[in-house]
A and B are shown apart, each in its own frame.
Chain A
């Protein structure tokens, strides 16, 4: 038994969990083509959720700040990108792939830019006065969430909005009898690229070193001569921008968005960071992939259970590992 667990650890430990889930699902689903479609969908969903959740996790890890208003960035990202795409609808339909790409690049950039600016505002104006006071932090960020949702309602109205996609991301690829939606593949690749970039920054740069050290022991980093609070503003901005990007990608994935989107995603994002372990980017990725896969597999196998599946997953994992699968070392 001990030997088995050691072998498992060598081959990746908890990182094997998604693989295990995928294998079990393969047996239960039976049809390989459906399984591939579901797995791709799950991975794409997982990467988008990862983008939304990674900032929240890092922000909490670094400063002990839990931003209940985080989902506002997701919503705003989705709506801003949808509006930008609608504005450029001429380019979206164009047969010229360059214009297609430019349109989606500009739309996502708009979401990112908004995330950076709003993140700065949030950190400096809303959260800074209530560092170290969890109760007021929860209340204030919750208040900010209420206000943000109302602003979205005031600007975009309450009815669902259709999101246009660029022509080159429409449709799907056929491999034999396996269909893969192009947008899902795109979402997965883009999400993966962001993860790799984030990973390299955290592992290879001095800023990344400071962030990782700060997550573990903020005080000690300060005693070594660094100002964590200045670093934190930057992390907060980037984390918010990533959430907005995740929201923008999610809008294209869903193609129909409502102002309720932020609230729905917030629950998922919370579950992901709890499962993954707060403060760790790897843990967040793991949690997001797990949630994405489970949602798709269970949605196929037992649709009635689909919405509760995340919750059950969270409870099971909390019972097994109370601080999450891969928490930051504290």
Chain B
């Protein structure tokens, strides 16, 4: 079943047309990966879905409902969480405050909190520390934890592996696979090896257009296609 459907989405930032024709469907469950070169429009796609940029009318449907044009806060309340590229962690707030802010009622659900502690033990350890003092990997964990502290239908994650050490990337992959069992993840990635481990379905964006959609297995097997769509020399 399709959870999120993006149909001929166009987005302009100021006077620049960044997205020309973005069309793809994210099925419910698992990790959907959006690949693309630097500047291809990956981040803009996520931000447009989240309502942080305004996409063209009638271009984004979530659970069958048109959400293009809604305010970001309303989109969030429909059950979409966003983990931006810079993680968007509130540095002046403690780990606890960062998480409590993301809850709907200002209180933690004990079982969800326990699950977060299991996924990211470091967060429990630094519970009362201000978030700016965390390492890059810990901040990324906090950002992801914030997205799953409430039940969500879809999590948008923008390049979570950027600048992280390989060991942390491994841990992150494990966590995503586990989260993906209950929640759908739309992941934007440049790190193809990381994406390959997680994705079931995928799409490739280039110059503001979706140029390929298919399964990750198929794409991983086709090195010529990878070369054509992702290599920097092309």
Q: Determine direct contact between A and B, CB below 8 Å.
A: yes
A329 touches B132 (CB 8 A): yes
Which residue of chain A is the closest to B74 with respect to CB atoms? A225
Q: Residue B73 contacts which of A226, A329, A330 (CB distance < 8 angstroms)?
A: A226
Give the interface segment out of A31-39, A62-70, A215-223.
A215-223
Q: How far is the CB of A88 from chain B (nearest CB, A)?
A: 43
Chain B interface SS verdict (over half): mixed
Give the interface segment out of B84-92, B120-128, B177-185, B209-217.
B84-92
Give the interface segment out of A79-87, A146-154, A205-213.
A205-213
Contacts of B119 in A (CB 8 A): none
Q: Assess whether B101 is interfacial by the CB under 8 Å rule.
A: yes
Which residue of chain B is the closest to A215 with respect to CB atoms? B92
Chain A interface SS verdict (over half): helix
Total A-B pairs, Cβ < 8 A: 64
Given A212-B92, A328-B92, A329-B92, is A223 in contact with B100 using a C-beta cutoff of 8 Å? no
A209 touches B100 (CB 8 A): yes
A209 to B99, CA, bound (A): 11
A227 touches B73 (CB 8 A): yes
Q: How far is the CB of B180 from chain A (nearest CB, A)?
A: 20
Q: Assess whether B52 is interfacial by the CB under 8 Å rule.
A: yes
The tally of residues in A whose CB lies under 8 Å from a CB in B reads: 20
State which residues 32-82 of B face A: CB under 8 Å.
50, 52, 71-73, 76-77, 81-82
A330 to B90, CA, bound (A): 8
Q: Assess whether B102 is interfacial by the CB under 8 Å rule.
A: yes
A220 touches B73 (CB 8 A): no
Contacts of A226 in B (CB 8 A): 73
A312 to B101, CA, bound (A): 41
Given A213-B101, A224-B101, A224-B102, is A219 in contact with B72 using a C-beta cutoff of 8 Å? yes
Contacts of A209 in B (CB 8 A): 93, 97, 100-101
Given A222-B76, A225-B76, is A212 in contact with B93 using a C-beta cutoff of 8 Å? yes
Given A217-B88, A329-B132, is A225 in contact with B73 using a C-beta cutoff of 8 Å? yes
Q: Assess whether B106 is interfacial by the CB under 8 Å rule.
A: yes
A222 to B72, CA, bound (A): 6
B88 touches A219 (CB 8 A): yes
A219 touches B52 (CB 8 A): yes
Please give the residue numbers on chain A whose beta carbons come within 8 Å of chain B beta carbons, in ascending order: 206, 209-210, 212-213, 215-217, 219-227, 328-330
What are 11 A-B interface contacts by the 8 Å CB criterion? Answer: A209-B97, A212-B90, A216-B93, A220-B88, A222-B72, A222-B76, A223-B81, A225-B73, A225-B77, A328-B92, A329-B132
